[in-house]
Structure 1
Amino acid sequence: MIWAMVAQLSWLISDPKPVSNAQVRHLATCLAAVDQRDSLALVRSQIASSEQGQISQRMSSDHPACLQRHGWSLVNSDVERGMISEIYLHKQPSMLERVSRMPDKPPVRPSDAVLGRAFLYAYATCLYRAAPARSATVLGTEADSPEERAAVVAYGDLLKGCMPNNISYHLNFSDLRTRIATVVYYAATSDLT
């Protein structure tokens, strides 16, 4: 059973046929279009919770056509959530405008004990709170573009200031973008600042 789960998740780690961000965005667009109820439940659920995973699995089960277009049977709920969050942020531009007007706060470096998927969320939360306008700018760029890279790099010293001391992280623009989208959408809809 465990090996079957590892095999299904292997595309996230080392898929011999690389998954493009465009394919995952297409999947997120498909899921958001065919299942608005669960899409909204997913992006409003507690971040990185078991509820998030359950909703993501249900969406994958209920709408296999969205996944099968790309030959997938399972998708990473964090990536899916981030991309669907970004879709909803762009459907309601006033949310990103509101975020862009929020004041910067001093960065709060995540604890050195934060590891794994919690690390990326803590990192994105720190960046968002320390530079909300910059976060809105990142999400306003075309994914996988030179503008996206420039917008992320423009966080400047915050890229290090929000990094836990014990973690060495090779910046993955796509992963960071999905976590920023998740954090921004969650904060904008729950008044979490």
Structure 2
Amino acid sequence: MMFAAFLLSALFADPAAATQPKRETVLEFATCVRRRAPDRVRELLATEPGGEQEQRIMSVIAGAYNACITGRRSLSLQTGMFRGQVAEMALRDEPQMREAAEALPGSPPLKPNVGSLEQQISKLPAERRDGRFIEYFRPVYARCVAGANPRGVAALLPTVPASAEERGAIVAIGETLMQCMPVGVSYRIIASELRPYLMSALYYTAAQARAKG
């Protein structure tokens, strides 16, 4: 119980005011790209989260839609944050996808394989390895949570970011968050950062299920 209390308190360590500008910037960019290139966004959402194909498509998006960066010369944006935002939009706007997500049965938690992640990072050039673990870890961790508790993750959809309702929805999946955390991994869960990855994982899992029939 003490560990659960520590974990859930860490979820809300970020003040809403500090994360709102970044969230609004991501939302603005994602809305613009989705309007201008819906087929490219669907292509992105069909790729495996965190995979090489995802990075390839995201590189195209980042380079082709500078007009979507209003009032800025550039935008530093993590792929997972952007993908999560467009995935959440799609889940809200496409009833069939949301129904598929809510109908997922859930499966035993499949924790991230730390050794496999470290091996992937070791293949990067030496100058690019430092501080990359969480970048590789987060999408795999989110897939574990969404796969084990899809209905709990789907409960985030109607909530407003940084709201009491969002907080309640995340507290409700606290047990799943712990079940998916590998032993020995030090990862400070922050709601504003985790939500987009959960949305991305939920959409991908639902799309895979629909494709299998």
How far apart in 2 are the matches of 1:93 and 1:77?
25
RMSD of aligned C-alpha atoms? Answer: 2.2
1:23/1:70 contact within 8 Å kept: no
**1:53 pairs with one of 52, 55, 70:** 55
1:112/1:166 contact within 8 Å kept: no
Q: Tell me, which stretches of 5 or more residues in structure 2 are unaligned?
A: 1-17, 118-132
The 1:69/1:188 distance shift into structure 2, 3 A limit, reads farther
The answer on 1:158 being equivalent to 2:164 is no
The answer on 1:63 being equivalent to 2:81 is no
| TM-superposed deviation, 1:118 | 2.7
| TM-superposed deviation, 1:190 | 2.1
| TM-superposed deviation, 1:104 | 3.2
For these two proteins, the number of residue pairs brought into alignment is 177
Q: Which amino acid aligns with 1:25?
A: L
> Where do 4+ consecutive residues of structure 1 move more than 4 Å?
none
SS in 2 for 1:163: coil
Q: Tell me, which stretches of 5 or more residues in structure 1 are unaligned?
A: 1-16
2:134/2:187 contact within 8 Å kept: no
Q: 1:83-112: per-residue Cα shift (whole Å, max 9, x none)?
A: 111111111123222222322322232223
How far apart in 2 are the matches of 1:159 and 1:190?
22
Who is 1:20 aligned against? 22
Who is 2:98 aligned against? 96
**1:129 pairs with one of 147, 154, 175:** 147
How far apart in 1 are the matches of 2:74 and 2:166?
27
TM-score (norm 1): 0.81
2:156/2:169 contact within 8 Å kept: yes
Q: After the TM superposition, which of the residue ranges 67-76 and 98-107 deviates more from structure 2?
A: 67-76
Q: Which amino acid aligns with 2:71?
A: R
Who is 2:45 aligned against? 43
SS in 2 for 1:104: coil
* Larger relative contact order, structure 1 or 2 (CA cutoff 8 Å, min sep 6): 2
TM-score (norm 2): 0.74
Q: Which amino acid aligns with 2:196?
A: T
SS in 1 for 2:53: helix
1:24/1:80 contact within 8 Å kept: yes
Who is 1:187 aligned against? 205
Q: Which amino acid aligns with 1:158?
A: T
The answer on 1:178 being equivalent to 2:180 is no
How far apart in 1 are the matches of 2:67 and 2:139?
29
How far apart in 2 are the matches of 1:137 and 1:166?
29
Who is 2:114 aligned against? 112
SS in 1 for 2:156: helix
2:106/2:149 contact within 8 Å kept: yes
Q: After the TM superposition, which of the residue ranges 26-35 and 43-52 deviates more from structure 2?
A: 43-52
| TM-superposed deviation, 1:74 | 4.5
| TM-superposed deviation, 1:73 | 4.0
1:43/1:85 contact within 8 Å kept: yes
Q: Which amino acid aligns with 1:123?
A: Y
**1:149 pairs with one of 167, 171, 190:** 167
Q: Percent identical across equivalent pairs?
A: 27
